[in-house]
Amino acid sequence: MFGFDLMSMVAGLPGLIIAMSVHEYAHARVAVSMGDFTPKYTGRLTLNPLAHIDPVGLIMLLIMQFGWAKPVMINPSNFRDRTKGEILVALAGPASNFLVAFIAMAFLIIWGSMVGSTTGLRTVFWLIIIYNINFGIFNLIPVPPLDGSRVLSAVLPYEMQYKLAGLERYSFLILIAIMMTPVLSYILIPIERLILSLYTSILSVLLGAFL
């Protein structure tokens, strides 16, 4: 998912920090908009990376390709519509990553067409695009505590919700197994390519008249 060499890690650091910060901020923003002010009271309603980055999780992500940010604490009982709130809050994180990737790709195309860009700048922005897309896809996997499991839980009958929640005790092992086998590549790569192709097509239409 991520590169191991020093240059890739340095170039990829902005993308990872942006991906984590925007992802958690989006959870917090939507939770507040749905009626739960817990993220605001706990200082998570901000884009400041210091509020969201778990240093150990970031180091693990850089080195081991498996890491985490500080989870945003929410109280679903405060939502005006609990089911809708849980689904929207869960989807907000991955959706924000896909949006950031789209904006970064647009910027890279516009900047490159107007003034050109250095190899270093292209690498940094390309990694912002890739990391945000992959971060969004990964978090949609329906394994607790990832966002995909929260969406799935919100629409399952109570009995199934209970069984899904029970998987969380094994989630670390499940996620390690996913990361250490080709399974993740089979999930990420085709979806990543599809999203990149979609973004390229959309931007070619939107920017074609201006570039």
**In the chain, beta strands by DSSP E:** none
| 100 in Cβ contact with 106 (< 8 Å) | no
State both tokens at 143.
Answer: 């394994």
24 as an active site residue: the answer is: yes
| 150 in Cβ contact with 115 (< 8 Å) | no
| Measured CA angle at 99 (ends 98, 105), to 5 deg | 90
d(CA 11, CA 87): 33
Catalytic residue among 24, 86, 159, 192: 24
| 211 in Cβ contact with 110 (< 8 Å) | yes
Catalytic residue numbers read: 24
